[in-house]
Amino acid sequence: MRKTHSLVQVAMALMADPSGRHWGYDLSKRSGVRSGVLYPTLQRMLDEGWLRDGWEEQGEVRAKRPPRRYYELTDKGSAELGAVLSAARQDARFRLLMRRFA
């Protein structure tokens, strides 16, 4: 995958909680990536096998709302995204970005 600002931002948001479940809206809030960019990125990560997706069980859903789709990092994914982040730390292009999140 091409290393873009948005990829690095999504990587940071995902790696903030490598074992947790992530939701689209929450991810876009935390990473600051608009949904028009975020969802295609997530889709590509799913295709690459970096992420796993699933739907909330009915039991976990409180009150009246439809189940959400969640994304989880796979082992391969956390390795790859870790590599993306460490490469971004060296890269001058992302210096501002990394400083903001560090």
Partner 1 sequence: MDTLITQIIAWPTLLLSLLLFGFAPGAMLRIIVLAFKRDDPRRIELLGELPSVPRLERPFWVCEQLEVALFEGLAGRLAALIGRKRDGLRRHSPLVAPPDPNLSFRRHKILESCQDYARRNGYPPKLKELAKMLGMASTSSLAYQLRDLEKKLGYTLRDRPPTEP
**Applying CB under 8 A, which residues contact partner 1?**
23-26, 34-36, 39-40, 53, 55-56, 65-69
Look up residue 17 and give its two tokens.
């909680």
The minimum distance between CB 28 and partner 1, in angstroms, equals 9
Whole-angstrom CA distances from 79 to 14, 46, 50, 85, 91 are: 12, 14, 9, 10, 18
> Which residue's CB is nearer to partner 1, number 39 or number 101?
39
Decide if 54 contacts 72 (C-beta within 8 A). yes
The minimum distance between CB 35 and partner 1, in angstroms, equals 5
CB-hemisphere CA count at 13 Å for 55?
A: 5
> Which residue's CB is nearer to partner 1, number 44 or number 85?
44
The minimum distance between CB 36 and partner 1, in angstroms, equals 5
Look up residue 37 and give its two tokens.
């960019």
> Which residue's CB is nearer to partner 1, number 35 or number 86?
35
